[in-house]
Every structure is written in C-alpha cells, then in structure tokens.
Amino acid sequence: MSKLSFRDLFKHETLEREETSFVPPLDEELLMESHLVQGQLFRGLELDDRLADAAMATILFISLTCTSCIDLLSDLAEFGARHEGLLLVVSSGSNEDNEELVRYYDYSFPVLTMQERAYKARFELEATPAAIMLEHGRVMKQFTILDIGHLYDQSAVRKGGD
C-alpha cells in the first residue's frame, strides 16, 4: 500500500471547495505591496459597478462561522440605514444563507458571497469582521471591527440617540 498522507483523509470536494474558490488578486503589482497604501485603488471594484464612482462606500467582510461577525449582524440593518453612501457586505456564507440573512434582517444593502480565504488573501484582511472604506474607489481605511460601536466610530456614522 502506498504511503497515505493527511490529504487522503479529505474528500476531494472538501478541499476543492476551498481551493477552486480562491480568487487571486487581479493586479500583480498591487500584490507586491504588503501593506495598505491609503489612496490605492480598491482591488475589488468589480464587486459592484457603483464602487468606482461612489463618493463614499463601505465594504464589510464577515464569516458565518465567526461569532463576533454573527454578533454584528443584528445591528447592521440600522447601520445600513444610517450609512451615507454605498454599503456592501461580503459574506463567507452560501448564496442561500446570504439570501436568508438579507430576508431575516431586512437589509437594505446587498450581501455578496465569497470564501473567507479568498477575500482575506485578496484584500489582505487579518481577521473578520473587517471593513474597508472607499472614496471614489480608493481605499481610505481598512480595519478589523471590534464591535458595532467601533464600526460607527470608524465610519463617522451617527448612532441612534447620539
């Protein structure tokens, strides 16, 4: 019998789901930069046609297996309503889960589907939940969200009651 490896314990589909969904960065030059450069063009403008021109846009990255992301979800509808500009959420959930999420919380913004590993690599995110803020398609700020209050503070969106 040939020598088994750990890879042999996994179904092909399990590993393939992760590996084929990995989307490499589009711009090789940008890939060379290991740190965020404020003002650089956002690498995911194709996520939504409006991103390139929007005066202000916020993209949130969540994972449905991350508890601090789940904790955030119930507060995002209000955040979305108060947020001026374009808001997108990129989620590691399946299309069906993400559609259910939008229905359950009555989100007014779209929830897009992308594997966690793919968006972390592509946008150089260290952890979830994370936010990237753009102005006219350029990155102004990028951070890991500690909680909903932190998100409000960083995005200068006024909370209810303030």
Partner 1 sequence: MNQIEKVMPSFLQVEEGLQIGDYMPNIRIPNNDDMELYDCITDYLLLATISTSCAPCLPAMEAINIFIQQYPGINFLLFIDTEESTFEKAKHIFHHSAQIYHASDDLLFGELKTRGYPWGYGLNAEGQIITIEHAGSLEYLEKLVSPFKRFLDSKEES
In the complex, the residues that contact partner 1 under the rule CB under 8 A are: 4-11, 14-15, 17-19, 64-67, 70-71, 73, 93, 97, 100-101, 103-104
Distance from the first to the final alpha carbon of the chain: 69
Q: Which amino acid is at 136?
A: H
Q: What is the smallest separation between the CB atom of 79 and partner 1, expressed in angstroms? A: 17
Measured from the CB atom, the residue of 46 and 104 that comes closer to partner 1 is: 104
The CA distance from 64 to 69, in Å, is: 7
Residue with tokens 């399990």, as numbered in its chain: 14
Q: What is the smallest separation between the CB atom of 130 and partner 1, expressed in angstroms? A: 17
Q: What is the smallest separation between the CB atom of 135 and partner 1, expressed in angstroms? A: 32
Q: What is the smallest separation between the CB atom of 86 and partner 1, expressed in angstroms? A: 25
Alpha-carbon separation of residue 33 from 85, 122, 123, 140 (angstroms) = 28, 12, 11, 16
The CA distance from 53 to 61, in Å, is: 21
Longest Cα–Cα distance of the chain, Å, equals: 69
Nearest to 151 by CA among 91, 93, 67, 69: 69
User: Helix, strand or coil for residue 90?
Assistant: strand
Measured from the CB atom, the residue of 9 and 32 that comes closer to partner 1 is: 9
Measured from the CB atom, the residue of 40 and 65 that comes closer to partner 1 is: 65
Q: What is the smallest separation between the CB atom of 67 and partner 1, expressed in angstroms? A: 5
Measured from the CB atom, the residue of 24 and 26 that comes closer to partner 1 is: 24
Measured from the CB atom, the residue of 42 and 109 that comes closer to partner 1 is: 109
